A and B are shown apart, each in its own frame.
Chain A
Amino acid sequence: MDFNERQLERQSFTQRSLLVTSLLVIFIVVILFRTFSLQISNFTEFDKASLNNRTYSVPVQPLRGKILDRNGEVISENIATFDLVTTPRDIKNVDEFLKKIENILDLDKDEIDLYIKNFNSKAFFNRELVLKKNLSEIEIARFEVRGFEHKEAFVGKRFRRVSRYDEIFSHVLGYTGGAGENNLDEQNRFRSNSWRDAVFSYANGLIEGKAGLEKTYNQSLTGTFGIKQFEVDARGRLVKELSYTPPINGENILTTLDIDAQKVAANQLGKRKGSIVAVDVETGGIVAIYSYPTFSVNKMANGISQSDYDDLINDPDKPFFDRSVAGRYPPASTIKPLMGIHALNRGQISWTTKINDPGFFELPEDGRIFRSWGEIAHGLINLNQALIRSSNTYFFDLAYNSGINELADDIEKFGFGSTVCMDCILEDEGLVPRPQWKMNNLNFGWFKGDTVNIGVGQGYISTTPIQLAHYTAVLANKGTKKPLFLNNSLSEKIQSSEIQLENFNQQDWSLLHKAMESVVESDYGTARRIRDQKDFPIAAKTGTGEIISLDSREEYERIREDQGLRDHAIIVAFAPVEKPKYAVSVIIENGESGGSVAGPVALRILKELLKE
């Protein structure tokens, strides 16, 4: 190569290497720019992603609030049980460990199998694993004495939801059951997979109210989940605990219920199907509400055998069915005070109007006979006497002279045909029939006889025990209507209203109360059975709910053979008459006599409630 060529070559090299160097410098600039974008411009995003990578928040379950009666006595609470909890990470040899534990505690085969099955994955992820559930006191003591030998195992506290009154509050209280994490309001505070590592306070894990107050007030009872934050590695292993925000336990619920009254109600009803509802007339708070047959809430919440459960489900008497709020019964003669108010208010009669009761009512249109109970002829009687003796003919006559729509309007004013409780669950509205309803549902026109039947609380009309208790409270309050409730905190929010009655004044109310008091006091009164047992004035109205419509006494004697077809015994009552404090409704299915069967039950409850 000559000199020129050499110069040329050098020039070419310099140019070409400058080109490559420029390329590399551009590369460096691009990389710098990109790194700047990652580290400075988008720092917040990546910082969050990195934090999200390394931290893992698990929910810590709060304890449910207690459910208390109106005196603050516990109805439902959380009772601690103890489990043997281990940390597999710290256990070198499972078999040796289990052998050591077996020297202290008996382990059955299922427990060991389950333990070994889950051991490796729990050890890998550094999670706790329960070896034995529900330790007895003796087992705990035996373990604790030797506890220093087992740093990898400890006694963990787990709670159960328990009612102190297993069966008597079942329907109103309800019970808890397993909850899916999706049902929780809190789910978006946690990553979905973190629920499998949740720190459970309950032996049953996630629980929620499935019925009754437990369900209605589930949210405030549940409380707020705490957060335990861990550092985790890429494979999800827990490295260390970073922070702990304790859970906020649920709020206690102070109810309007009274444990003693409820106990009396349960005792009095005994093994008879039916319902008892007692109401504080001054507030509208429900003090006792019982339905039989019932079931064990503690079994429902903490484990019931399949056969026990099947028995409950298949029982023809439907133990889960809450008769108090959803049972439909004819109000029978308990509707008669309302009929009287209706007739007086509409000016059909006055307190002195007398009607002849020959023991039956003949419908003028077609001569159909409507019979009285026992076909007793009461002769010429006024409203007062008709109420005391529960004359059917008198009220057939009142109903006959009423327009069905006006009558239905007045019945509905007293809360029938709609729900009356603010925080009861699955409450039935009952039925106040009207021609339109009959046409729509039965495809038949309205007959005068249908109206006549309503006069004695029979026929299409149906009511629930809680509606009857509410109605009785309205009567006791002389027309002031208050919605019923269970949670004491609602008492301030209750709006009472006056029933609009143009021609029914305070004097009329007093006369009505007098008549209802005479139902107990009078020698002719249908509830005179309880007259001598009471220690305060009681106003009442009995009823006998017919299950099937019959033409004669003889026919009833025949069907009486079948217990399920016997009449329902009903009574509504309030006391003391002068300044009423409590109203009660009692329905005993197939109990036959409102006065002598349901009457004493109502009396005992009022006695319990009014005792000083």
Chain B
Amino acid sequence: MIKKIYLDPYIFIGISLLAMVGVLILFSASEGDTTIVFKQSIYVVLGLILFLFVSQPDPDIYRRFSPLILFVTLVLVFIAYFFGPEINGARRWIRLFGFSFQPSELLKISLPLFLASFLFNKKLPINAKQTAISIFFILVCFLSVYIQPDLGTGLLIAASGFLVLFLAGLSWVFIGITIATILIFSPFIWNNLLEPFQRDRIWTLFNPESDPYGSGWNIIQSKIAIGSGGFFGKGYGEGSQTHLNFLPETQTDFIFSVLAEEFGFIGVLLLLFLYTFVLLRTFYLAVNARDRFCRLVIGGFIFTFGFNVMINLAMVIGLIPVVGMPLPFFSRGGTSLLSIFLMFGIITSMSTHKKFIPK
């Protein structure tokens, strides 16, 4: 018998709207391919159910099971790497009953969860040993995804880990030293650690016209799509850049360009409003969460989500290099969508349950 449904109405409305608009845009981006849209709609429904389901348990359950959750996720990631099918040169999927499932998406949840449960009772600031342990787990998770290869998701997972570490009170000294080190070694990273195509992408960003039919093509066409949308857009399903295939990857990375082309600046404003609304509401929930563990988890989740959105947008409008990074709620992909709902479900759970204070 259910006594109470734990639900934050603002979050619920916000993400429902985002998911609905997402399906709408995907329908246009996929040239009205009903199979794709039907599948995505199913994921939205499943996601909402999942969201409601994981909102209900007390947050302590997540804390207690976080090491197990991380362990299982990592095992799944490795199963995908060693036994999964190779698609487009990457091994990141597990096929189960005709559904493809991408366990690395779950790391965005299980890693912050684990780190928060590890750090929530540590003294401020986090000492060197704890920092080292945290970084070790972050590295393991990052590398397990990086080798698939999937740099975009890997970086996001690492970011989620570091965000928790930062919010938990990572010492400013450590942060200063790290930034300085990265700056000093950046030439070395540029020359030795980056693949030529990655260097190309960065280079293209600053000068896309240098290679309009090669690596600059995507960015140029994306900018044309967005720019030609104007204030009111070309109309739903009327985007010539989208429908005549000038715009690449319309269903995944560049889906924002589809929205911008067809709905114009108005559409962009609406989208940014929805994201900002969800972001600020969750920030409010984080600050007012019942304990340090919940604060860290909510903070880690929402900021990772925020950076994910911003990086995708900055990428398609040509502010940063192209990295494979989908737009949450919009890009095609079931696991990504489900993990977002899962994430907001956990956020809801952590922000709605009152702390039982023993006398």
Contacts and interface: CB of A to CB of B under 8 A. Distances in A.
Nearest to A13: B295
B163 interface: yes
Contacts of A120: none
B228 A16 contact: no
Contact of B317 (A5, A14, A20, A35): A35
B291 to A, nearest CB: 9
B313 A16 contact: no
Contacts of A47: 227-228, 230
A53 to B, nearest CB: 5
Given A12-B169, A46-B228, A54 B124 contact: no
B272 interface: yes
Interface of B: 121, 123-124, 163, 166-169, 221, 223-231, 240-241, 244-246, 260, 264-265, 268-269, 272, 275-276, 279-280, 283, 286-287, 292, 295-296, 299, 303, 306-307, 310, 313-314, 317-319
Given A9-B169, A50-B240, A234 B283 contact: no
B106 to A, nearest CB: 23
Given A24-B279, A43-B230, A53-B244, 8 more contacts: A9-B124, A13-B286, A13-B295, A14-B287, A16-B169, A32-B269, A34-B319, A50-B240
Interface in A27-63: 27-28, 30-32, 34-36, 38-40, 42-43, 45-47, 49-51, 53-54
A242 to B, nearest CB: 11
B260 A20 contact: no
Contacts of A239: 244
A13 B292 contact: yes
Given A35-B260, A46-B224, A53 B246 contact: yes
Contact of A39 (B246, B264, B283, B296): B264
Interface string A4-30: 011011101110110011001101101
A35 B244 CA distance: 22
Given A17-B167, A20-B163, A233 B244 contact: yes
Contact of B224 (A6, A14, A50, A232): A50
B104 to A, nearest CB: 23
Q: In this complex, which of A14, A16, A38, A53 has the most chain B Cβ atoms within 10 angstroms of its Cβ?
A: A38
Contact of A53 (B168, B230, B241, B296): B241
A177 to B, nearest CB: 35
A39 B268 contact: yes
A31 B319 contact: yes
Q: In this complex, which of B169, B244, B314 has the most chain A Cβ atoms within 10 angstroms of its Cβ?
A: B244
14 contacts: A13-B169, A16-B166, A17-B303, A21-B306, A24-B279, A31-B319, A32-B272, A34-B318, A39-B226, A39-B227, A39-B264, A234-B221, A234-B244, A235-B245
Contact of B265 (A6, A30, A39, A45): A39
B123 A17 contact: no
Given A27-B314, A31-B314, A35-B317, A234 B228 contact: no
B317 A28 contact: no
Contacts of B229: 39
Contacts of B246: 50, 53-54, 233-234
Contact of A31 (B272, B295, B303, B307): B272
A10 B223 CA distance: 43
A45 to B, nearest CB: 7
B223 A38 contact: yes
Contacts of B221: 53, 234
Contact of A28 (B167, B226, B272, B318): B272
Given A46-B224, A234-B245, A40 B231 contact: yes
A1 interface: yes
A548 B228 CA distance: 80
A38 B295 contact: no
A375 interface: no
Interface string A522-551: 000000000000000000000000000000
A42 B317 CA distance: 13
B285 to A, nearest CB: 11
A41 to B, nearest CB: 9
The 3 A-B pairs of least Cβ separation, nearest first, read A46-B227, A50-B228, A234-B245
Contacts of A231: 240, 244
Given A35-B265, A40-B230, A54-B244, A30 B287 contact: no
B123 A5 contact: yes
A9 B122 CA distance: 10
A534 B152 CA distance: 102
Contacts of A45: 227
A42 B224 CA distance: 10
A34 B227 contact: no
A53 B124 CA distance: 58
A39 B123 CA distance: 50
B279 A21 contact: yes
Contacts of B241: 50, 53-54
B124 A5 contact: yes
Contacts of B292: 6, 9-10, 13
B280 to A, nearest CB: 8
B317 A34 contact: yes
A17 B231 contact: no
Contacts of B228: 43, 46-47, 49-51
Nearest to A30: B319
Nearest to A46: B227
A171 B276 CA distance: 81
A9 B227 CA distance: 46
Interface string A466-497: 00000000000000000000000000000000
A488 to B, nearest CB: 51
B240 A28 contact: no
A50 B279 contact: no
A416 to B, nearest CB: 62
Given A38-B227, A47-B230, A13 B245 contact: no
A39 B319 contact: no
A10 to B, nearest CB: 8
Contact of B299 (A5, A13, A36): A13
A533 B263 CA distance: 91
A34 B276 CA distance: 17
Interface in A310-332: none
B246 to A, nearest CB: 4
A27 B166 CA distance: 19
A117 to B, nearest CB: 26
Contacts of B244: 53-54, 231-234, 239
B224 A49 contact: yes
Nearest to B317: A34
Contacts of A34: 317-319
A31 B231 contact: no
Contacts of A9: 124, 169, 292
Contacts of A14: 287
A500 B42 CA distance: 103
A24 B166 contact: no
Nearest to A50: B228
A587 B293 CA distance: 115
A34 B230 CA distance: 13
A28 B319 CA distance: 12
Q: In this complex, which of A21, A34, A233 has the most chain B Cβ atoms within 10 angstroms of its Cβ?
A: A21
Contacts of B224: 46, 49-50, 53
Nearest to A16: B167
Contact of B286 (A5, A8, A17, A24): A17
B240 to A, nearest CB: 4
B272 A24 contact: no
Given A13-B167, A54-B246, A239-B244, A49 B303 contact: no
B226 A46 contact: yes
B93 to A, nearest CB: 28
Contacts of B317: 31, 34-35, 38
B265 A12 contact: no
B121 A1 contact: yes
Q: In this complex, which of A1, A20, A232, A235 has the most chain B Cβ atoms within 10 angstroms of its Cβ?
A: A20
Contacts of B286: 13, 17
